[in-house]
Amino acid sequence: MTELVVFDDPLLVALGVLRTNPLLAAVDGIGFGTKTPDDLGADYPGAPWVSVVNLYTDPSGYPFTERATLRVSVWGGQEVDEAQAFRLCQAVRAVLASADGPHGSITPQAGPFTSEDPDTETPFAYFDAVIRLRPATL
């Protein structure tokens, strides 16, 4: 009998790594999700926020691996300057780079880079990373 090979959701894997990291948990009020502060609107807590989105999934390694390119954006909060957002982004990048669990590994690519939200003029930083997922069977 042939087993069906599947892969975990790359967003859930990356967010799970970030949400369970004790160093990031020590950052007062930090939140994680797939939305930006603009998307959250009035629900944005004004505290540090990390958004993870999947830019592209490459299934060409099936059934041995699946790769996804993630964009990780980091807002430092309401009263944070560009340098602080950049440093927090570096910390998030280091946490993801050190993650190597049963799901696979995450390798930072480009960045971090700083920018400014065009709507709110809030500084943020971002980087791209590739997650290589290990297969599971159903």
Print the domain residue range for 125.
5-38+47-137
pLDDT band at 87 (very low <50, low <70, confident <90, very high): very high
Beta bridge partners of 123: 116
Which CATH number goes with the domain that contains 127?
Answer: 3.30.2000.10
Residues of the chain above pLDDT 90, percent: 55
Number of domains comprising the chain: 1
pLDDT band at 1 (very low <50, low <70, confident <90, very high): low
The arithmetic mean of pLDDT across residues 77-93, rounded, is 86
Structure confidence at residue 21 (pLDDT): 94
Contact by Cβ (8 Å): 123, 82: yes
Tell me which residue of 113, 129, 117 sits closest to 77, measured CA to CA. Answer: 117
The string of pLDDT tens digits covering residues 42-81 is 877 777 999 999 999 998 888 888 999 999 999 987 677 7
- Which residues make Cβ contacts (< 8 Å) with residue 20, sequence separation at least 6? none
